Amino acid sequence: MPRPISATIHTQALRHNLARARAAAPGTKAWAVVKANAYGHGLARAFAGLREADGFALLDLDEAVRLRESGWAGPILLLEGFFEPADLDLINRHGLTTGVHCDDQLRMIETARLDRPLNVYLKMNTGMNRLGFRPARYRAAWERARGIASIGQITLMTHFANADGEIGIAAQCEAFEHGAAGIAGERSVANSAATLWHPDAHGDWIRPGVLLYGASPTGRHADIAAADLRPAMTLTSRLIATQRLEAGESIGYGSLFRADQPIRAGIVACGYADGYPRHAPTGTPIAVNGVRTRTLGRVSMDMLAVDLTPCGDVQTGASVELWGEQVAIDDVAQAAGTIGYELMCAVMPRVPTHAD
Ligand SMILES: *Cc1c(COP(=O)(O)O)cnc(C)c1O
């Protein structure tokens, strides 16, 4: 028998969350962002739930080709663009749309032999300072792109650094408007946070990622409580042993948890080699047989311990939810000092996944 851990991908939740994104940004078209193997959900499984998207956005050329070969004939956007001239052959063959963020990429397109129009997302750096042309240089880049015969549509794009936080997006929006002034063409600016919380900055094509998977751009579950999103992944396992600790006894490596009174503990088949965060301390939320409780001590490679005090007379074999419908992935992430994005992306290949 395999280890009892598994991840369930909820196809209907993906569909629901995409509909929520659309409802938040009426009149726009939606890229479903499925980079990083659909944020750990599996590209094929995510595709099954997100077919109503107008297009799929990702980073990896291999994933783009896989999506094309799985039957998606609509738009596919490479968010970071391409890295060498040979990539353009595949982009051309599969009719992909590509981000263009630097002069090197424009040069490669100029010298490539393409037999159909290449649609590009011309990226402006409005303050994130990772990729893109500065606003003052944007018009020149756009004119250069427009002068390349093989380039078809040019969409104007930028990416927000603070759509989920205090700093907000005003300065970046201003920079974008300035750099794009007088340039015709569709705009794409909104990640999940802007889709949910900045209705004035939706542009023509939204690019929601994490919200499709039912987690919060801020990493705090309470922030999406009003957005009616559903978790797209449930990570479950089982108790493979129970222990009774006497007062003074400890559990796990480093003896980080020590009982101050007798306590029943359960041992769960899930550890950091499954992608559960090793940084999750004692007290991280978890559910056993549907009852919320807490982890105890340090997460091991293949196991972790839970407090069975609130769970009644549960035995070996009891079901455990690491995250999903009973325990928000953001709550686990917050306890571990990270965000839901990182946890969902980190689920390891050894964890079997299935769709429901
Ligand atoms: C990842 C990414 C997104 C989606 O971000 P979320 O915060 O997951 O919504 C959108 N646009 C670009 C360019 C990205 O890299």
Regarding whether 257 and 137 lie in a shared domain, the answer is no
Is residue 228 included in any domain, yes or no?
no
Regarding whether 245 and 164 lie in a shared domain, the answer is no
Regarding whether 273 and 207 lie in a shared domain, the answer is no
163 Cα nearest atom in ligand 1: 7
pLDDT at 148 over 80: yes
Decide which of 183, 213, 243 is a domain's last residue: 213
- Residue 27, C-beta contacts closer than 8 angstroms, at least 6 positions apart: none
Q: Give the pLDDT mean for 125-134.
A: 98
Q: How deeply is 203 buried, as exposed, middle or buried, from its count of CB atoms within 10 A (0-12, 13-18, 19+)?
A: buried
* Alpha carbon nearest to ligand 1 atom 4, residue: 209
Regarding whether 306 and 264 lie in a shared domain, the answer is yes
Ligand 1 centroid–CA 98 distance in Å is: 15
Beta strands 6-9 and 353-355, pairing class: parallel
Q: Give the pLDDT mean for 79-95.
A: 97
The whole domain housing 333 covers 233-355
Regarding whether 240 and 148 lie in a shared domain, the answer is no
Name the β-bridge partners of 56.
32, 76
Regarding whether 253 and 198 lie in a shared domain, the answer is no
List, for residues 315-327, the tens digit of each pLDDT value. 999 999 999 999 9
Is residue 225 included in any domain, yes or no?
no
Regarding whether 239 and 197 lie in a shared domain, the answer is no
Which pLDDT belongs to residue 10? 98
Q: What is the CATH number of the domain that holds 204?
A: 3.20.20.10
Is residue 224 included in any domain, yes or no?
no
Regarding whether 156 and 60 lie in a shared domain, the answer is yes
Q: What is the CATH number of the domain that holds 268?
A: 2.40.37.10
**Cα–Cα distance for residue pair 205/187, rounded to 1 Å:** 7
pLDDT at 71 over 90: yes
Band of pLDDT at residue 290, cut at 50, 70 and 90:
very high
pLDDT at 353 over 90: yes
Is residue 168 included in any domain, yes or no?
yes
Which pLDDT belongs to residue 2? 84
Tally of helices (H runs) and strands (E runs) in the chain? 11, 18
Whole-angstrom CA distances from 85 to 93, 94, 102, 107, 112 are 13, 15, 14, 9, 7
Name the β-bridge partners of 133.
124
Q: Give the pLDDT mean for 130-140.
A: 98
**Cα–Cα distance for residue pair 9/71, rounded to 1 Å:** 20
> What pTM value is reported for the model?
0.97
Does any ligand 1 atom lie closer than 6 A to the CB of residue 189? no
Regarding whether 117 and 32 lie in a shared domain, the answer is yes
- Residue 149, C-beta contacts closer than 8 angstroms, at least 6 positions apart: none
157 Cα nearest atom in ligand 1: 13
Is residue 3 included in any domain, yes or no?
no
Regarding whether 248 and 199 lie in a shared domain, the answer is no
pLDDT at 329 over 90: yes
Band of pLDDT at residue 74, cut at 50, 70 and 90:
very high
Decide which of 213, 243, 264 is a domain's last residue: 213
Q: Give the pLDDT mean for 76-95.
A: 97
Regarding whether 144 and 15 lie in a shared domain, the answer is yes
**Strand, coil or helix: 97:** strand
pLDDT at 195 over 90: yes
List, for residues 221-258, the tens digit of each pLDDT value. 999 999 999 999 999 999 999 999 999 999 999 999 99
Single out the catalytic residue among 121, 138, 213, 253. Answer: 253
Is residue 172 included in any domain, yes or no?
yes
Regarding whether 18 and 167 lie in a shared domain, the answer is yes
Is residue 157 included in any domain, yes or no?
yes
Is residue 207 included in any domain, yes or no?
yes
pLDDT at 26 over 80: yes
Residue with tokens 């999506």: 67
* Of the candidate ranges 1-5, 8-12, 175-179, 226-230, the one whose mean pLDDT is the lowest: 1-5
pLDDT at 1 over 80: no
On the CB side of 219, how many CA atoms lie within 13 Å of its CA?
12
Average pLDDT, the chain: 97
Looking at the 3D structure of the chain, how many domains does it have?
Answer: 2
